Amino acid sequence: MQVMVSGSALSVSFVHGVSQRFPVSLKSINGDVKRQKASSLCYPIQHNGVEGIGLSMVDSFSNNTVNSMSEQSKDFVDGKELSCELYNDSIRKFCKGGDIDKAMTFLSQMEALGFRPNSLSYSCLITTLGSASRTLEAEAIFEEMVLSGIKPRLKVCNDLLKGFLRKGLLKHADKVLAAMDQLCIRKNRESYEILLDYHVHAGRLKDTWSVIAKMRREGFQPNSFVYSKIIGIYRDNGMWKKAIGIVEEIREMGVSLDKQIYNSVIDTLGKYGELEAALEVFEKMQQEGIRPDIMTWNSLIRCTCKFGDLSYALELFTKMQEEGLYPDPKIFLTIISRLGEQGKWNMIKEVFENMKCRGLRKSGVIYAVLVDIYGQYGRFQNAEECINGLKSEGVELSASMFCVLANTYAQQGLCEQTVKVLQLMEADGVEPNLIMLNVLINAFGIAGRHLEALSVYQHIKESVGHWNSSFNSFSRYSLSLLSTNDSCIFPEGYCS
């Protein structure tokens, strides 16, 4: 029986870049190829009237291709002839091990032989691709799965839905929802909570209530997760009193206030300056035996720094560490920024030393925050001393750390120290990036040394082999820094 290759655009093999010599869909010139559906949902192709299973099916391909396929799979079949079941087992094994590229390679190979993955293999591929943020490939697998007549499990649909919404691909998520409706796959609580979480984070009040209404129609009553999201959407839309009013509804519904709801209430009160009310809720939370977590402490410390007494914020900060919780770098930044504004450098040192005594991890982020704050207020002048001090603390100096340090000098127009940081960065074997060079331009610009700034810009332009989007954005930003209100310091044509 003669066959020809049909390169289907939907085929995952083509999506993954497999040569068109590998037939994913085979059509007979004189009629349809007869396929016999195996119990494992595989579809062996009839070749000259005989079902071919294994490597004998690819004799017509080049020797290099056959050898490559055999080489990649020999460790997994122990010399046995490759069958549909072995391919499916290998795909699932690779997916569970997190090696999605090998799984996709085996998928291409088995489809080249005319086999189809079974339901479990499809599910593993979709879930693993989604976890790796390869959502478009996951969607292609999902479509192939549906077209092959296999009904996806609800978990697969939820995983795909979550992957799309995590990346903000709402139209793709809508396609998944439409497919679920067409295939009569009933949504569960998790499905609705995935949608709810997306709409709340996107600030979509109307869509949030629409999802909640659908949940109720389907018999899913709001739980603590849903109520915490309702409080959050009200808070983010400026309706904090309505958010707090939800607490009474929760009590009337007989839903117990858990840590998630308490955190939402404290955060809402804190953001709108209701510090006393937030502290009352905090006390009540502990009285009910609910232990505050890092989110609870962060919300309280943040609002105390902004609306209350800084000394009390430090007291809360200390209590949090006594509870065995490691400070969030953002909260650390909030506290020492306020201390820096008030010139309380000894207190900053004391806070930092206390953290070290309690087993401060060698966090580059924490040290970067310190460098930034000290630099903003001109607390050190010598870049080399600062770098050596960081090294003596055992801090691993990354490109980001060098950029933070350089920026503290650049903001003060200290060009020589900014250049010194660049030299130390190169001496340490860290390659300068666009951010560092932009900081250098900024330093010269602030100091009024525009020709030197232009020289750095020209160097970057010559060094970059092609004008990609990142460099274009950087270029426009640099030009805006180096132009004045009345004219541009660059030659004609640069500032147009």
Closest alpha carbon to 215 in 202, 201, 230: 230
Whether residue 51 sits in one domain with residue 157: no
> How many structural domains is the chain composed of?
3
Would 146 be classed as within a structural domain?
Answer: yes
Instruction: Please state, in angstroms and as integers, the Cα–Cα distance from residue 494 to each residue in 442, 474, 482, 491, following that order.
Output: 17, 14, 11, 6
Rounded CA gap, 43 and 51, in Å? 10
Rounded CA gap, 132 and 369, in Å? 31
Q: Which two tokens stand for residue 344?
A: 């309380």
Whether residue 442 sits in one domain with residue 482: yes
Going by pLDDT thresholds of 50, 70 and 90, the confidence category of residue 288 is confident
Which of 200, 220, 240 finishes a domain? 220
Would 250 be classed as within a structural domain?
Answer: no
Whether residue 184 sits in one domain with residue 72: no
Would 296 be classed as within a structural domain?
Answer: no
The arithmetic mean of pLDDT across residues 474-492, rounded, is 43
Instruction: Please state, in angstroms and as integers, the Cα–Cα distance from residue 319 to each residue in 69, 207, 208, 312, 314, following that order.
Output: 61, 40, 37, 10, 9
Whether residue 216 sits in one domain with residue 176: yes
Going by pLDDT thresholds of 50, 70 and 90, the confidence category of residue 375 is low
What pLDDT score was predicted for residue 80? 53
Rounded CA gap, 35 and 472, in Å? 54
Which CATH number goes with the domain that contains 378? 1.25.40
Report pLDDT digits (tens) over 91-141. 999 999 989 999 999 999 888 888 889 999 999 999 999 888 898 899 999
What pLDDT score was predicted for residue 363? 56
pLDDT at 460 over 80: no
Least confident range from 31-45, 387-401, 430-444: namely 31-45
Number of alpha carbons in the 13 Å side-chain half-sphere of residue 235 = 23
* φ and ψ at residue 27, rounded to 5 degrees: -120, 135
What pLDDT score was predicted for residue 192? 94
Q: Which residues make Cβ contacts (< 8 Å) with residue 101, sequence separation at least 6? A: none
Q: What size, in residues, is the chain? A: 496
What pLDDT score was predicted for residue 445? 82
The arithmetic mean of pLDDT across residues 154-159, rounded, is 92
Enclosing domain of residue 182: 152-220
Whether residue 477 sits in one domain with residue 388: yes
The arithmetic mean of pLDDT across residues 149-165, rounded, is 92
Would 468 be classed as within a structural domain?
Answer: yes
Least confident range from 66-75, 308-317, 339-348, 371-380: namely 66-75
Which of 150, 171, 198 finishes a domain? 150
Report pLDDT digits (tens) over 316-363. 988 988 888 877 777 887 887 888 778 787 888 788 777 767 665 555
Question: Which residue has 């005319």 as its token pair?
Answer: 114
In percent, the amount of the chain with pLDDT more than 90 equals: 22
pLDDT at 366 over 80: no
Closest alpha carbon to 341 in 314, 376, 367, 311: 376
Rounded CA gap, 408 and 414, in Å? 9
